[in-house]
Amino acid sequence: MNIRPSIILFVSFVAVLIALLLWLHNKKPEATPIAKFPTNGIPQSGATVVHVVAPPATHSNAPSTPNGISVSPTMPPKDQQMRQQLSELNNEDIVFNGKVVDQFASPVPGATVAASIQVNDGTRVGTDEISLTTDAGGSFKVSGYKGKALALRVTKPGYVMAMANTRFVYSLLWAASQRYIPDSNNPTVIKMWKLQGAEALVNISQHFKIPFTNGPISFDLLAGKVVPGGGDVTITVNRPNGQISEQDPQKWSINLQIPTGGFIETSGKESAVTFAAPDNGYQSNGNFENNNGPGLIDKSFFVESRSGQVYSKLRLLFSINSAPSGLMDVSFSGVANVKGSRNWEATAPQEP
């Protein structure tokens, strides 16, 4: 039977039209189209974007057998695979031998230890909560539980926690460097700070916009000024020519110098649980490369300045100018004990 091509074309067209109408009919309107954001004017890539919810159930016309691949309907579904992994790798024995000590290395007896065993074993997600009390030697032990991690919160009147992280991961799904390995012979020390009495501190919150210079820039952090020399902190910028931005990343650095003292690099988290300036370990100067994106140096320090008269916990944010003619943005924040004392207890969290 001969059928005219035009008839075939017409029938095909009607079939497509019906399919389209059916699809449109079934599609629940959920949005009003807006004219101001058409896609018509947007250039298209060479690849055709065909939107599908699930991969289409079509197969290659050129059958092939995957090399070394065993496709079997007996393979457990992915959710079962995940649950199996969780039950095998995320469900470890939680054993923790702890010893709570203060800044004098003295044991802290009678402290309350709230322990949360975090669980995600493929069948249960949640926490098991227990409460313990340290013995006369400041020791405590958690055992008899299974889970992925142990989180501790230790409290005692007159003390505050002096550790940034009291969560210990046992799960084998975490990298080895992040996992906690219990050692029954060496209890893990939990540091607390025995409050001695807070001293008044000076808040530092200063923000400078400075034109680029390759000479030293000195800052008096107490007066909040750039000074010709001396001061608490001196910064010298090493900047290449040209634009510095996310689109034009370049290496740049600063040199940090404490004219009559020194600094110890730390982290914001450590700084938050440090309530006295360290006795030693200060260095008078050091170089720092941009460490946070192309344009920013973000560092925390303990600073001894003015020949030991000022001890500060300092956070430095140094944003380089994107164009050499632009302004650099420098901010200092933190606290300072200006009485020659190392005491920063005023930054300790308030006891409930």
Closest to another protein by CB, 299 vs 306, is: 299
Site residues (CB under 8 A) for another protein, limited to 179-238: none
**Closer residue to another protein, CB minimum distance, 26 or 186:** 26
Which tokens sit at 177?
A: 């460097």
Among residues 3 and 53, whose Cβ is nearest to another protein? 53
* 289 contacts another protein (rule: CB under 8 A): no
Tell me the window of 123-131, 210-218, 220-228, 335-343 that interacts with another protein (CB under 8 A).
Answer: 123-131
| Position among 97, 103, 116, 309 found at the interface with another protein (CB under 8 A) | 116
174 touches another protein (CB under 8 A): yes
* 115: DSSP letter: E
Binder among 17, 20, 21, 85 for another protein (CB under 8 A): 85
Q: Which residue has 């003619």 as its token pair?
A: 325
Residue 183 vs 248, nearer CB to another protein? 248
3-state secondary structure of 177: helix
CA angle 97, 103, 105 (to 5 degrees): 55
Smaller CB separation from another protein, 85 or 184: 85
Q: Could you say which residues in the range 25-64 bind another protein, by CB under 8 A?
A: 27-34, 36-39, 42-43, 45, 47-55, 57-60, 63-64
Q: Candidates 3, 24, 78, 215: give the one binding another protein (CB under 8 A).
A: 78
Residues 95, 130, 210, 272: which binds another protein (CB under 8 A)? 272
The answer to the question of residue 242 lying near another protein (CB under 8 A) is no
CB atoms < 10 A from the CB of 101, how many? 19
Q: Cβ closer to another protein: 282 or 318?
A: 318
Q: Please report the DSSP string for 216-241 in residue order.
A: -EEEETTTTEEESS-SSEEEEEE--S
**Cβ-contact 330, 232 below 8 angstroms:** no
Distance from C-alpha of 174 to C-alpha of 79, rounded to nearest angstrom: 20
**Nearer to another protein by C-beta: 199 or 329?**
329
Query: What amino acid occupies position 82?
Result: M
- If DSSP codes are grouped into helix, strand and coil, which group holds residue 5? helix
The two tokens of residue 218 are: 């000195």
Q: Which helix (H) or strand (E) holds 85?
A: helix 78-89
Question: Could you tell me if residue 281 is left (phi over 0), alpha (psi between -120 and 50 degrees) or otherwise beta?
Answer: left
User: Does 69 contact another protein by CB under 8 A?
Assistant: yes
- The window from 92-100, 218-226, 228-236, 244-252 that contacts another protein (CB under 8 A) reads 244-252
